[in-house]
Structure 1
Amino acid sequence: MSEFHNDDVVLDIHDRPKPVHWVGLSIQHLFTMFGSTVLVPILVGINPSIALVSSGLGTLVYLTVTKGKIPAYLGSSFAFIAAMTMLMKSDGYPAVAQGAITCGIVYLIVSIIIRKIGSAWLDKILPPIVVGPVIMVIGLGLAANAANNAMYHNDKYDFKYVAVALITLALTIIFNMFLKGFIGLIPILLGIVGGYITAMLFGIIDYQPIIDANWFALPAFEIPFVNYQPSLHLNAITIMAPIAFVTMTEHIGHLMVLNKLTKRNFFDDPGLDRTLLGDGLAQIVAGLVGGPPVTSYGENIGVLAITKVHSVFVIGGAAVFAVGLGFVGKLSALILSIPNPVISGISFILFGVIAASGLKLLIENKVDFDRKKNLLIASTILVIGIGGLVFQAGTFTLSAMALATVLGIFLNLVLPEKALSEK
């Protein structure tokens, strides 16, 4: 029996683009993830170049472990920012590395358990009424951040920022709707370039870091037994290990979106055990070279949805470019100079497309919102997830998306199919 091929997309998972197209499509993914991937280490106090290298290496590890079946890009995880910041101040990077590696080990343990008992239980706890709103939360959960980055400069409303964001948005929509051929496949990349030129005209780009950067710059790797002698940091383990279960929830949510986009079931093939194994090993690799823990990126899933280019070769190309870019100071500085409103203008579309795919899932499965159970589950997930309600107990934090998912699963399992008032 031949392998399924999705003929409704431009390039399916195992379709290989032409070399010239391959470069452009991969760079598009590189630009899309760049801002978030380097923002995490900047906030924490880790070298951004290391994060680029670790994200590329982590993605290649993930693609290898999942047998090249899942087009997912892994970048720096925001879920660990608070924990990493705390550890950097108290114990320095060796503690952060130990925490990242521990999280990877937690993934490996859960992967082994799922391999033993299977993942059929997912269909019961994750029906369309839970999956659809969760996908919408994944898309809309960062909507406020995108809007704020488009409005504020140094905590003050800036009309120039808003104008650049809206022009970038308009250009990306125009490129997406009216271009065809190869250039019609890279509307996000063209939108970023157009937005950057617009930002230049508005005078909001700082060129000095580009001028000061060296062409070749070896990232300041933090490698155990080379740059430091590892020692046991129990606080790193207790602080970061529980967060692994939060990012697992995000991992499963992203797989749901990818299942929908690619018309496949990655929970069955290559299996949730293998996807968690790939993610866990990627986190361990990141910890060993000095980067922050990695996770799959919704921004890049948005690119897949818009362009209908699902090729793992394109994702792999972006990973290779990310590793190389970590050693090129000028190019890193150039991409790092892309201002927030440009990224926000792109994000308006990327996040929105993901949310719309969740809505589409509800429609296609004909979810009945006249039933109180469905209405209550969707309402709870959407408001808590998008509203940003966070559960915090000591050093343990459950993000809004994770909390919304957990509550949605719980309500689906405990609520009766019909309320007493329904016939």
Structure 2
Amino acid sequence: MNKQKEEFRNNEAVLDIQDKPPFKHWLVLSIQHLFTMFGATVLVPILIGINPSIALFSSGVGTLIYILCTKAKIPAYLGSSFAFIATMQMLMKHYGYPAVGQGAISAGLVYVIVALIISQFGSDWVDKILPPVVVGPIIIVIGLSLATTAANDAMLNNSKYDLKYFAVAIFTLVITIIFNMFLKGFSSMIPVLLGIVSGYILAALVGIVDFTSVMQAKWLSLPAFDVMGVNYSFKWYPAAIITMAPIAFVTMTEHMGHVMVLNKLTKRNFFKNPGLHRTLLGDGLSSVFAGFVGGPPTTSYGENIGVLAMTKVHSVWVLGGAALFAIVFSFVGKISALIQSIPSPVIGGISFLLFGMIASNGLRILVDNKVNFELKRNLIITSVVLVVGIGGTYLKLGNFQLTSIALATLFGIVLNLILPSKAASEN
């Protein structure tokens, strides 16, 4: 432990997956991840009309379930999934939360079933259908497809451009970069947290932080859990199952994309160890749990992967600590309200960097694997994936929607399988 503390002070080593940081550092590193995921995790329930504290609780428990299922070998945080928003809004309007909960459970069970199949037949197919020429552009798309979200958070106040918002966002971005580049020792590992705090202070000074909810919130507040079968008399909602279960196949592609990014960051192959079946099982059981307690389905978060990329602190203990904080804070009304009061331009400024980090790792995959763009095949695959994914292309059939990332992944996989290794003119 003394050696580890010395490494912390000199910033000579990165915390690996199983490394446990000193307690005081552990708390701060975990809170950094909590702040990073908080905005998106509570935004989803707000948009569909359910209790944000329940979403915070279910994300914390879901992350611990994921860590358990993956044998504590993968540093990832699971938060509320955006992919189901449109469908959940429709279900809430017509049937209420029981239908949403049933849909979340059915989507999670799809993950569980696929995980069981993979555990029996293996995942060698992943390397064949997802080579570097497909994986690299998909990861770039995952990062850049979020660029509009970051920009809107940074500039828009009630859908209108706000110079004050933009100034706060740019300040948050710049100060975070400065912290990341010039701080030494332990401070260099928490640039995101320091950036959020600095941005929040400036936002408060210029008057764009609303403290009303913080003042009104109680110190201790029990989330109104909508436990299936307890608060409601049980009833089947076929519409929920039919509309939400298929979306699980879409979010699986994003799930695998995040695992690929983590593979690159940690220099491991999580598809092999602990295995894709375990990552899918953890994600699926997390959504099943969320559906039972009244939360939205969960998924791994790119924002937290961005923090891992920036800080190079890959300790699963840190992510587990963030999960515990999320659970505790879901019962502490004042703290939950304080974090929820972080204005969107602060989150937007941080997101410029975090989402860019994800995209940059996709570029690194192409460079490190020396993908030859002299070959028309590679040029075509990359071009189609990037434009379809970043352009926001999507396929909608009724209430079922194939997102741009999922559609780009599908195009990449199909083109990789059908295109010859060389064009006729290259032979």
TM-score normalised per structure 1: 0.97
The answer to whether structure 1 residue 63 and structure 2 residue 49 are counterparts is no
Paired letter, 1:285: F
Does structure 2 conserve the Cα–Cα contact (< 8 Å) formed by 1:9 and 1:308? no
Paired letter, 1:81: I
1:8–1:293 CA distance, 2 compared to 1 (3 A): farther
Q: CA deviation at 1:69?
A: 0.3
Q: Match for residue 178 of structure 2?
A: 174
Q: Give distance in 2, aligned partners of 1:132 and 1:64.
A: 29
Does structure 2 conserve the Cα–Cα contact (< 8 Å) formed by 1:103 and 1:280? yes
Q: Match for residue 269 of structure 2?
A: 265
Aligned residues, how many? 417
1:413–1:11 CA distance, 2 compared to 1 (3 A): same
Q: Match for residue 5 of structure 2?
A: none
Q: CA deviation at 1:421?
A: 1.9
Q: CA deviation at 1:9?
A: 5.4
Q: Match for residue 314 of structure 1?
A: 318
Pairs within 5 Å for 1:214-229? 214-229=218-233
Paired letter, 1:32: T
Q: Match for residue 249 of structure 2?
A: 245
Does structure 2 conserve the Cα–Cα contact (< 8 Å) formed by 1:100 and 1:286? yes
Q: Match for residue 162 of structure 1?
A: 166
Q: Give distance in 2, aligned partners of 1:72 and 1:235.
A: 32
Q: Give distance in 2, aligned partners of 1:236 and 1:313.
A: 36
1:31 to 35, 52, 55: 35
Q: Match for residue 326 of structure 1?
A: 330
Q: Give distance in 1, aligned partners of 2:99 and 2:343.
A: 32
Segments of 4+ in structure 1 off by > 6 A? Answer: none
Could you give the per-residue CA deviations for residues 45-96 of structure 1, whole angstroms, max 9, x where no partner exists?
0100000000000000000011000001000000000010000000000000
Classify the secondary structure of the residue corresponding to 1:78: coil
Pairs within 5 Å for 1:95-110? 95-110=99-114
Q: CA RMSD in A?
A: 1.0
Q: CA deviation at 1:231?
A: 0.8
Q: Give distance in 1, aligned partners of 2:76 and 2:216.
A: 34
2:217 to 213, 216, 233: 213
Does structure 2 conserve the Cα–Cα contact (< 8 Å) formed by 1:150 and 1:344? yes
Classify the secondary structure of the residue corresponding to 2:296: coil
1:201 to 202, 205, 208: 205
Q: Give distance in 2, aligned partners of 1:342 and 1:135.
A: 24
Q: Give distance in 1, aligned partners of 2:278 and 2:338.
A: 36
Q: Give distance in 1, aligned partners of 2:125 and 2:190.
A: 39
Q: Match for residue 4 of structure 1?
A: none
Does structure 2 conserve the Cα–Cα contact (< 8 Å) formed by 1:76 and 1:293? yes
Q: Give distance in 2, aligned partners of 1:183 and 1:328.
A: 27
Pairs within 5 Å for 1:129-144? 129-144=133-148
1:338 to 334, 342, 350: 342
Does structure 2 conserve the Cα–Cα contact (< 8 Å) formed by 1:100 and 1:283? yes
TM-score normalised per structure 2: 0.97
The answer to whether structure 1 residue 230 and structure 2 residue 246 are counterparts is no
Pairs within 5 Å for 1:285-300? 285-300=289-304
Classify the secondary structure of the residue corresponding to 1:79: coil
2:153 to 146, 149, 153: 149
Q: CA deviation at 1:99?
A: 0.4
Q: Give distance in 1, aligned partners of 2:15 and 2:406.
A: 32
Classify the secondary structure of the residue corresponding to 1:204: coil
Q: Give distance in 2, aligned partners of 1:129 and 1:83.
A: 33
Paired letter, 2:123: S
1:251–1:8 CA distance, 2 compared to 1 (3 A): farther
Q: CA deviation at 1:225?
A: 2.6
**Percent same amino acid among aligned pairs?**
67
The answer to whether structure 1 residue 347 and structure 2 residue 351 are counterparts is yes
Could you give the per-residue CA deviations for residues 78-124 of structure 1, whole angstroms, max 9, x where no partner exists?
00000100000000000001000001111111011111110001111
Q: Give distance in 2, aligned partners of 1:398 and 1:69.
A: 30
1:386–1:9 CA distance, 2 compared to 1 (3 A): farther
Q: CA deviation at 1:8?
A: 8.8
Q: Give distance in 1, aligned partners of 2:14 and 2:267.
A: 14
Does structure 2 conserve the Cα–Cα contact (< 8 Å) formed by 1:132 and 1:358? yes
Q: CA deviation at 1:200?
A: 1.1
Q: CA deviation at 1:10?
A: 1.1
Paired letter, 1:331: I
Paired letter, 1:366: K
Q: Give distance in 1, aligned partners of 2:257 and 2:249.
A: 12
Q: Give distance in 2, aligned partners of 1:278 and 1:209.
A: 34
The answer to whether structure 1 residue 302 and structure 2 residue 294 are counterparts is no
Q: Match for residue 423 of structure 2?
A: 419
Q: Match for residue 54 of structure 2?
A: 50
Classify the secondary structure of the residue corresponding to 1:232: coil
Classify the secondary structure of the residue corresponding to 2:365: helix
Does structure 2 conserve the Cα–Cα contact (< 8 Å) formed by 1:9 and 1:309? no
